[in-house]
Amino acid sequence: MPLINLILKPLKPILLTLGHHIFGTIVVALIGVSVLVSWAIGTLNLLLNALQTPVQLWEAIALVLLVSVYTHLKTVKNHSSKYPKKREILFESDNFKWKAIIHSPSFHSVENMPFCNLHDKRLIEYGGNYVCPDKNNDACETVLKSDKYQLLKDIAESEAEHIIRTNNY
């Protein structure tokens, strides 16, 4: 007997706490289940009574219109957020205008061919260089030499990234 008392003495508080928690859980479960069942039956009775009452025509039409408007607004919101619109910006870099297309906040691209800074026309390739296609003004001296093209495009891409980052596009 003394050996059993030695074993049970340290376990006594643990067993009492465990029994208390089990009893409390059973009481809460019984009360909770009975309340839940009575609530479900009451809700079911309320729903059945509501379904048995006649509905006015204007109430049915209003309900259909409200559900249609809600569905339309949710559809528009979901589709517009999935496909964000691309934004385009024109910016100057080394006496040329470049067009940047912002696909998302983390992705953009700069178009390959710059614009003439004076006439806002895209440069064309002529004689190995890129020149302004303006026919009305022979005095336009906008020329981009082909050996400087890649350097200027890289600078323009860097500037576009800076503009997009600082202006929170």
Residues in contact with 99: Cβ distance below 8 Å, sequence separation at least 6, in sequence order: 88, 89, 90, 110, 111, 115
What is the per-residue pLDDT across 84-124, written as a single tens digit (0 to 9) for each?
Answer: 678 888 888 888 899 998 887 778 888 888 998 888 888 88
Task: For 88, list phi and psi in degrees, rounded to 5.
Answer: -120, 140
Cα–Cα distance measured from residue 31 to residue 33, given in angstroms and rounded to the nearest whole number: 6
Q: Has residue 59 got a pLDDT over 80?
A: yes
115-116 vs 124-126, strand pairing mode: unpaired
Q: Has residue 66 got a pLDDT over 90?
A: yes
Residues in contact with 20: Cβ distance below 8 Å, sequence separation at least 6, in sequence order: none
Determine contact, residues 121/113, Cβ cutoff 8 Å: no
Cα–Cα distance measured from residue 25 to residue 16, given in angstroms and rounded to the nearest whole number: 14
What is the per-residue pLDDT across 9-25, written as a single tens digit (0 to 9) for each?
Answer: 787 888 888 888 888 88
Q: What is the pLDDT of residue 61?
A: 92
Residues in contact with 122: Cβ distance below 8 Å, sequence separation at least 6, in sequence order: 113, 114, 115, 116, 133
Q: What is the pLDDT of residue 14?
A: 84
Q: Has residue 2 got a pLDDT over 80?
A: no
Higher pLDDT, 5 or 93: 93
Residue 99's nearest CA partner among 77, 82, 121, 127 is: 121
- Domain map (residue ranges) of the chain: 87-167
Q: What is the pLDDT of residue 138?
A: 63
Which pTM was predicted? 0.48
Split at pLDDT 50, 70, 90, the class of 82 is low
Q: Has residue 39 got a pLDDT over 90?
A: no
